[in-house]
Copies of this chain bind each other. A is one copy, B any other.
Amino acid sequence: MTIKDIPSQTIDRLFTYFRALTCLIREGTETVSSKRLAEICRVSAAVVRKDFSYFGEFGTRGVGYNVKDLLDNIRRILDFDSPTEVALVGVGNVGRALLQHSQFELEGFKIALAFDKDPRKVGHKIGSVTVQDTKGMGKKIRSRGIDLVILAVPDSTAPGVAKSLAKEGLGAILSFSPCDLAMPDGIKITCVDLSMEMARLLYHSRLQSRLAEMRLEG
Protein backbone atom coordinates (compact mmCIF):
# COMPACT_ATOMS: atom_id res chain seq x y z
CA MET A 1 0.00 0.00 0.00
CA THR A 2 1.77 3.11 -1.22
CA ILE A 3 0.54 6.63 -1.70
CA LYS A 4 -0.12 5.76 -5.34
CA ASP A 5 -2.76 3.17 -4.37
CA ILE A 6 -4.87 5.77 -2.62
CA PRO A 7 -7.52 7.39 -4.81
CA SER A 8 -6.73 11.03 -5.37
CA GLN A 9 -10.32 11.83 -4.55
CA THR A 10 -9.78 10.31 -1.14
CA ILE A 11 -6.91 12.71 -0.55
CA ASP A 12 -9.02 15.64 -1.68
CA ARG A 13 -11.80 14.66 0.68
CA LEU A 14 -9.40 14.54 3.62
CA PHE A 15 -9.22 18.32 3.38
CA THR A 16 -13.00 18.53 3.53
CA TYR A 17 -13.12 16.23 6.54
CA PHE A 18 -10.40 18.31 8.13
CA ARG A 19 -12.43 21.49 7.78
CA ALA A 20 -15.61 19.83 9.02
CA LEU A 21 -13.84 18.40 12.05
CA THR A 22 -12.38 21.77 13.04
CA CYS A 23 -15.94 23.10 12.97
CA LEU A 24 -17.20 20.20 15.08
CA ILE A 25 -14.45 20.87 17.60
CA ARG A 26 -15.45 24.50 17.82
CA GLU A 27 -19.02 23.35 18.53
CA GLY A 28 -17.73 21.12 21.30
CA THR A 29 -18.62 17.82 19.64
CA GLU A 30 -16.42 14.98 20.88
CA THR A 31 -17.58 12.04 18.81
CA VAL A 32 -18.82 11.75 15.27
CA SER A 33 -20.14 8.80 13.27
CA SER A 34 -19.32 8.19 9.63
CA LYS A 35 -22.99 8.88 8.92
CA ARG A 36 -22.95 12.33 10.51
CA LEU A 37 -19.63 13.31 8.96
CA ALA A 38 -20.92 12.14 5.60
CA GLU A 39 -23.96 14.40 5.87
CA ILE A 40 -21.82 17.40 6.68
CA CYS A 41 -19.42 16.76 3.83
CA ARG A 42 -22.13 15.66 1.42
CA VAL A 43 -20.77 12.22 0.64
CA SER A 44 -21.91 8.73 1.57
CA ALA A 45 -21.04 7.11 4.89
CA ALA A 46 -19.35 4.22 3.10
CA VAL A 47 -17.03 6.66 1.37
CA VAL A 48 -16.06 8.22 4.68
CA ARG A 49 -15.20 4.86 6.22
CA LYS A 50 -13.34 3.62 3.17
CA ASP A 51 -11.36 6.85 2.94
CA PHE A 52 -10.09 6.49 6.49
CA SER A 53 -9.48 2.78 6.09
CA TYR A 54 -6.63 3.49 3.68
CA PHE A 55 -4.67 4.99 6.53
CA GLY A 56 -5.58 2.91 9.55
CA GLU A 57 -8.37 2.18 11.99
CA PHE A 58 -9.30 5.44 13.61
CA GLY A 59 -12.78 4.66 14.89
CA THR A 60 -14.39 2.63 17.62
CA ARG A 61 -17.03 0.15 16.47
CA GLY A 62 -20.41 0.88 17.87
CA VAL A 63 -19.37 4.42 18.75
CA GLY A 64 -17.78 6.38 15.92
CA TYR A 65 -14.71 8.53 15.66
CA ASN A 66 -13.22 10.74 18.35
CA VAL A 67 -13.18 14.15 16.70
CA LYS A 68 -9.91 15.31 18.16
CA ASP A 69 -8.03 12.08 17.47
CA LEU A 70 -9.33 11.90 13.93
CA LEU A 71 -8.28 15.47 13.32
CA ASP A 72 -4.80 14.71 14.62
CA ASN A 73 -4.57 11.71 12.34
CA ILE A 74 -5.59 13.70 9.28
CA ARG A 75 -3.19 16.45 10.25
CA ARG A 76 -0.42 13.87 10.36
CA ILE A 77 -1.43 12.29 7.04
CA LEU A 78 -1.57 15.65 5.29
CA ASP A 79 1.55 16.89 7.02
CA PHE A 80 -0.05 19.98 8.56
CA ASP A 81 2.58 19.95 11.21
CA SER A 82 3.72 23.45 11.76
CA PRO A 83 2.46 26.94 10.95
CA THR A 84 3.30 27.85 7.35
CA GLU A 85 4.54 31.19 6.12
CA VAL A 86 3.27 32.53 2.81
CA ALA A 87 3.89 35.68 0.79
CA LEU A 88 1.39 38.11 -0.73
CA VAL A 89 1.98 39.87 -4.02
CA GLY A 90 -0.36 42.76 -4.79
CA VAL A 91 -1.82 44.85 -1.99
CA GLY A 92 -4.97 46.21 -3.59
CA ASN A 93 -8.57 45.55 -2.63
CA VAL A 94 -8.09 41.84 -2.25
CA GLY A 95 -4.59 41.95 -0.79
CA ARG A 96 -5.60 44.47 1.86
CA ALA A 97 -8.54 42.32 2.96
CA LEU A 98 -6.26 39.33 3.28
CA LEU A 99 -3.69 41.21 5.35
CA GLN A 100 -6.39 42.25 7.76
CA HIS A 101 -7.71 38.73 8.10
CA SER A 102 -6.17 37.62 11.38
CA GLN A 103 -7.88 34.25 11.26
CA PHE A 104 -5.36 32.76 8.87
CA GLU A 105 -2.98 32.40 11.78
CA LEU A 106 -5.50 30.31 13.68
CA GLU A 107 -5.60 28.03 10.67
CA GLY A 108 -1.87 27.60 10.45
CA PHE A 109 -0.94 30.22 7.87
CA LYS A 110 0.87 33.49 8.25
CA ILE A 111 1.35 36.14 5.58
CA ALA A 112 4.98 36.90 6.36
CA LEU A 113 5.84 39.10 3.39
CA ALA A 114 3.81 41.50 1.25
CA PHE A 115 4.88 43.15 -2.00
CA ASP A 116 3.46 45.84 -4.28
CA LYS A 117 4.82 47.68 -7.27
CA ASP A 118 3.09 50.93 -6.42
CA PRO A 119 5.52 53.22 -4.52
CA ARG A 120 2.57 54.77 -2.68
CA LYS A 121 1.84 51.43 -1.01
CA VAL A 122 5.44 50.49 -0.18
CA GLY A 123 6.33 51.11 3.46
CA HIS A 124 2.76 51.02 4.75
CA LYS A 125 2.10 48.59 7.55
CA ILE A 126 -1.15 46.63 7.25
CA GLY A 127 -1.96 44.14 9.95
CA SER A 128 1.47 43.08 11.17
CA VAL A 129 3.25 43.28 7.83
CA THR A 130 5.03 46.12 6.05
CA VAL A 131 4.55 46.31 2.28
CA GLN A 132 7.81 46.00 0.36
CA ASP A 133 8.88 46.94 -3.12
CA THR A 134 8.90 44.13 -5.68
CA LYS A 135 12.63 44.51 -6.36
CA GLY A 136 14.34 41.26 -5.37
CA MET A 137 10.98 39.80 -4.47
CA GLY A 138 11.73 36.26 -5.61
CA LYS A 139 14.98 36.11 -3.66
CA LYS A 140 13.39 37.44 -0.49
CA ILE A 141 10.61 34.89 -0.74
CA ARG A 142 12.88 31.94 -1.40
CA SER A 143 15.46 32.87 1.21
CA ARG A 144 12.76 32.85 3.82
CA GLY A 145 11.84 29.32 2.79
CA ILE A 146 8.41 30.25 1.53
CA ASP A 147 6.80 27.89 -1.00
CA LEU A 148 3.44 29.55 -1.56
CA VAL A 149 2.53 32.97 -2.91
CA ILE A 150 -0.91 34.53 -2.91
CA LEU A 151 -1.21 36.52 -6.11
CA ALA A 152 -3.60 39.48 -5.99
CA VAL A 153 -2.42 41.75 -8.79
CA PRO A 154 -4.51 43.00 -11.71
CA ASP A 155 -5.54 40.41 -14.31
CA SER A 156 -3.23 41.84 -16.94
CA THR A 157 -0.05 41.60 -14.85
CA ALA A 158 -0.81 38.28 -13.19
CA PRO A 159 0.58 35.96 -15.90
CA GLY A 160 3.89 37.83 -15.98
CA VAL A 161 4.35 37.80 -12.23
CA ALA A 162 3.34 34.14 -12.06
CA LYS A 163 5.90 33.16 -14.68
CA SER A 164 8.71 35.06 -13.02
CA LEU A 165 7.86 33.44 -9.68
CA ALA A 166 7.85 30.04 -11.38
CA LYS A 167 11.38 30.75 -12.65
CA GLU A 168 12.54 31.43 -9.11
CA GLY A 169 11.59 27.88 -8.20
CA LEU A 170 8.48 28.65 -6.20
CA GLY A 171 6.26 25.66 -5.49
CA ALA A 172 2.73 27.03 -5.59
CA ILE A 173 0.57 30.04 -6.37
CA LEU A 174 -2.93 30.86 -5.23
CA SER A 175 -4.16 33.42 -7.73
CA PHE A 176 -7.22 35.63 -7.69
CA SER A 177 -6.91 36.28 -11.41
CA PRO A 178 -8.37 33.76 -13.78
CA CYS A 179 -6.40 32.65 -16.82
CA ASP A 180 -3.13 31.75 -15.17
CA LEU A 181 -3.96 28.23 -16.12
CA ALA A 182 -1.17 27.36 -18.52
CA MET A 183 1.92 27.25 -16.33
CA PRO A 184 5.23 25.42 -16.63
CA ASP A 185 5.44 22.04 -14.92
CA GLY A 186 6.85 22.07 -11.45
CA ILE A 187 4.67 24.86 -10.14
CA LYS A 188 1.15 24.26 -8.92
CA ILE A 189 -1.39 26.99 -9.40
CA THR A 190 -4.96 27.33 -8.22
CA CYS A 191 -7.21 30.17 -9.27
CA VAL A 192 -9.91 31.50 -7.02
CA ASP A 193 -12.42 32.30 -9.71
CA LEU A 194 -15.49 33.77 -8.09
CA SER A 195 -17.43 34.35 -11.29
CA MET A 196 -17.06 30.72 -12.30
CA GLU A 197 -18.08 29.59 -8.82
CA MET A 198 -21.20 31.71 -9.04
CA ALA A 199 -21.95 30.36 -12.49
CA ARG A 200 -21.55 26.78 -11.27
CA LEU A 201 -23.74 27.40 -8.27
CA LEU A 202 -26.49 28.97 -10.32
CA TYR A 203 -26.42 26.17 -12.84
CA HIS A 204 -26.77 23.49 -10.20
CA SER A 205 -29.35 25.40 -8.22
CA ARG A 206 -31.48 25.96 -11.30
CA LEU A 207 -31.09 22.37 -12.40
CA GLN A 208 -32.25 21.26 -8.99
CA SER A 209 -35.36 23.44 -9.17
CA ARG A 210 -36.12 22.17 -12.64
CA LEU A 211 -35.81 18.56 -11.52
CA ALA A 212 -38.02 19.24 -8.49
CA GLU A 213 -40.69 20.76 -10.75
CA MET A 214 -40.56 17.80 -13.09
CA ARG A 215 -41.06 15.45 -10.16
CA LEU A 216 -44.12 17.42 -9.06
CA GLU A 217 -45.62 17.43 -12.53
CA GLY A 218 -45.05 13.64 -12.73
Contact = CB atoms under 8 A, between A and B. Distances in A.
A53 B200 CA distance: 21
A147 B80 contact: no
A23 B201 contact: no
B195 A107 contact: yes
Contacts of A197: 174, 190, 192
A193 B205 CA distance: 20
A199 interface: yes
A78 B199 contact: yes
Interface stretch (A34-42, A61-69, A137-145): A34-42
Given A19-B179, A23-B179, A195-B104, A172 B205 contact: yes
Interface in A177-217: 178-179, 181-182, 186-188, 190, 192-209, 212
Interface in A87-106: 93-94, 96-98, 100-101, 103-104
Interface stretch (A10-18, A44-52, A117-125, A128-136): A10-18
A148 interface: yes
Contacts of A181: 19-20, 23, 40-42
Contact of A193 (B19, B79, B173, B202): B19
Contacts of A107: 195
6 contacts: A15-B196, A23-B178, A40-B181, A40-B182, A84-B202, A148-B198
Closest 3 CB pairs of A and B: A171-B205, A23-B179, A93-B97
Interface of A: 3, 11-12, 15-16, 18-20, 22-23, 26, 39-42, 78-80, 84, 86, 93-94, 96-98, 100-101, 103-104, 107-109, 147-148, 150, 155, 171-174, 178-179, 181-182, 186-188, 190, 192-209, 212
